[in-house]
Amino acid sequence: MTEQNKEKVQEKENEEQTRPSVVELKKEVVEETKKKIKEVTKAPEESEKPKEEKVKEKKTEEMSRKTEASVSVKNIPMSTKHSIALCDFVRKKKIGVAIKDVEMVLAMKKAVPMKGEIPHRKGKGMMSGRFPKNASENFVKILKSLAANAMHNGIEEPVIVEAVANIGERPYGKFGKVRRSRTHVLIKAKEEKR
């Protein structure tokens, strides 16, 4: 029995030596699949007509100079009545002058002319007016943003052509009793005509 066992062990060792290892088998399989893939990809290319070389034309991008700058702000928490008055106050002025005027309103040096039953103010050419603090603070930010947009667009001397304030959303305040007022503001500036 021992001799038979020895013979069997020797036969197994001989088979293991002649048999390829698992790693070698994997390498062979990978190489075969690569060859098949190459054959498959070559076949359609040969059947197709030779591709003509396309000459890429460089597109010359012309920088179109923008003629206007605009700022659109939605749902600012300020009075629509005050923002309408400030839009009228700012319209047809240069941006720098408008910013200075609104800052004077903040400093209580200059009143914003308003319509409606509002008491008169001292000064020439004004019947009634107010000093809307909250709206003026927001308008200074908006006008500075408009100035930056105009500078980016290459407008040298921008004049405010359009200033519009509209009623925005009216969400409920705390505890749902009070409706808060919000305002949409759109301001556009174009280059001054000479």
- Pure H helices in the chain: 2-18, 22-47, 80-90, 95-106, 133-153
Q: What is the pTM of this model?
A: 0.64
Q: Which has the minimum average pLDDT: 9-18, 74-83, 134-143, 159-168?
A: 9-18
26-52 per-residue burial string, b: 16 or more CB within 10 A, e: under 16: eeeeeeeeeeeeeeeeeeeeeeeeeee
Answer yes or no: are the C-beta atoms of 113 and 129 closer than 8 Å.
yes
Domain 68-191, classified CATH 3.30.70.580, yes or no: no
| Domain definitions of the chain by residue range | 68-191
H or E element: which one contains 164? strand 158-167
| Residue 173 burial class via C-beta count within 10 angstroms: exposed 0-12, middle 13-18, buried 19 and up | exposed
C-alpha separations of 180 from 77, 80, 131, 171 in Å: 8, 11, 20, 6
Q: Per DSSP, what are the bridge partners of residue 179?
A: 172
Tell whether the model's pLDDT for residue 24 goes beyond 80. no
Tell whether the model's pLDDT for residue 96 goes beyond 50. yes
Task: Please give the share of the chain, as a percent, with pLDDT higher than 90.
Answer: 47
Amino acid in the structure at residue 140:
V
**What is the predicted pLDDT for the residue at 20?**
61
Tens digit of each residue's pLDDT (9 = 90 or more) over 61-71: 445 678 899 99
Could you count the other beta carbons within 10 Å of the beta carbon of residue 136?
22
User: What is the rounded CA–CA span in Å between residue 101 and residue 121?
Assistant: 16
Closest CA to 70 of 179, 185, 173: 185
Is beta strand 158-167 parallel, antiparallel or unpaired with respect to 129-130?
unpaired
